[in-house]
Amino acid sequence: METIKKIFSGNIRQYGMVIALFVLMIFFAIVTKGVLLLPMNVSNLVSQNAYVLILAVGMLFCIITGNVDLSVGSIVALVGAISGIIIVRMGIPFWLGIIFCIVIGGAVGAFQGWYIAYMRVPAFIVTLAGMLMYRGLTMNFLGGQTISQYPRGFQFLAQGFVLQSSTIKLPLVEGGISINILAILLGIIASVIYIIFTLSSQRGKQKYNFEVDPPSVLILKFIVITIIINFFTIEFALYKGIPAVLLIIVALVVIYTFIANKTILGRHIYAMGGNEKAAKLSGVKTKKDLFLVYANMGILAALAGMIVAARLNAATPKAGSGFELDAIAACYIGGASASGGIGTIIGAIVGGLVMGVLNNGMTILGFSIDMQQVVKGAVLLLAVTFDVYSKSKSSVK
């Protein structure tokens, strides 16, 4: 019991949502009679919700500063439209089109960041205006029509699987079982890397006499995380292998977790979200950092836009509708504070997966879209209520 208390004492919201995700998966696995955990469904869970996870990574930094970005859904649609025009209609090589779209996303984000950081126009107003403008530009560029049939290289972003040639057939049952050996190997490697980095972090904390987890807590964490990692990689291995989009998400999580926790920029963003005036007096270049946050959000929205277009194999005028709400909800559900200054990349990813499992599970059970919105809204309200309650309780202490 003492071990469990130790685990939760560090970050109750983050661990609480991990447990909620685990409970949700078990619940839907039971009520769907195992359908949710079929390898194909687990793979689709990642592919279908990749846009939420990518947008949540960028949105988290906006929320940490005490703001939001309401324009990301429209940027997704705009970049999708531009990719369709230049790659499909104009025949530009897909890799050059990807670079161009990333630049466009960065430029759009920088435009908004300049207004927010240097012109001091509230982020809510700037991004609301952007949501309307970019949606209008999308409709204008596409003329209300859909552009389809991207080249295979572009489709690989969202539909591809890594090294499918490593799949072998095991004659364990009648007809045999196909399994991707590379996926299994990557799961083992990821588990080893997690253990090595965690132990390295522990030694670093001990060096400076910081409090560290006792061996019993550490071993329990290793067991739980290793089981989770290898469960998913085995599921992927039994389908088609590791989705290419998953590798993109993992790379983003690693890069942005490093930025948030190990760089001066990351520390300044958290400081600005905690108290912007105090941060500015301490020498933090708040305008520059806020500008970079929104430029980065534009880049990630562009990436999400291309992944959505690649998954649909089409650029559509209605793409990205409501995506900004999904990204914001994922961050709040994952532990970000509505008042800024608090939140983690891993928490945002967990929040996005909670939304994804809810969507997938309710769809399998035949819930209507209307009821799915009701449930997701209730989950978001509960998550924010828990945040407010936790703060009020800690302030009383």
The per-residue pLDDT for range 23-36, each reduced to its tens digit, is 888 888 888 888 88
Mean pLDDT of 294-311: 95
Report which residue type is found at 383.
A
pLDDT exceeds 90 at position 164 = no
Does 1 score more than 80 pLDDT? no
- CA–CA distance, 104 with 304 (Å, rounded to integer): 13
pLDDT reading at 357 higher than 70: yes
HSE, side-chain direction, 13 A CA sphere, residue 290: 29
pLDDT at res. 288: 93
Tens of pLDDT, residues 237-248: 888 888 999 999
119-147 residue pLDDT tens: 999 999 999 999 999 999 999 999 888 99
Both tokens assigned to 256: 């942005």
If phi > 0 it is left, if psi is from -120 to 50 it is alpha, else beta; for residue 325 that is alpha
Give per-residue pLDDT as tens, 45-54: 888 899 999 9
Which string of DSSP letters, residue by residue, matches 326-353? HHHHHHHHTT--TTSS---HHHHHHHHH
Range name among 15-19, 66-70, 160-164 with the lowest pLDDT average = 15-19
- The helices-and-strands tally (H runs, E runs) of the chain is 17, 4
In 3D space, the residue among 112, 167, 172 whose CA is nearest the CA of residue 293 turns out to be 112
Q: Flag whether pLDDT at 294 surpasses 90.
A: yes
Q: How many CB atoms lie within 10 A of CB 168?
A: 11
What's phi and psi for 307, nearest 5 deg? -70, -40
189-197 LR contacts (CB < 8 Å, sep 24+): 190/229, 190/233, 191/225, 191/226, 191/229, 191/230, 194/222, 194/225, 194/226, 194/229, 195/222, 195/226
Phi, psi of 390 (to 5 degrees): -65, -40
Residue 238 contacts residue 178 (beta carbons within 8 Å): yes
Q: What pLDDT, in 10s, does the model give residues 77-110?
A: 999 999 999 999 999 999 999 999 999 999 999 9
What local confidence, expressed as pLDDT, does residue 396 receive?
53
Cα separation, 368 vs 333, whole angstroms: 22
Contact predicate 56/297, CB 8 Å:
no
Return phi, psi of residue 241, to 5°: 110, -165
Query: Is residue 181 within 8 Å of residue 168, measured between CB atoms?
Result: yes
Enter the pTM of the model: 0.89
Q: What pLDDT was estimated at residue 43?
A: 87
List, for residues 252-275, the tens digit of each pLDDT value.
999 999 999 889 999 999 998 878
In single-letter form, the type of residue at position 394 comes to S
Answer for the pair 381, 285: CB distance below 8 angstroms, yes or no.
no
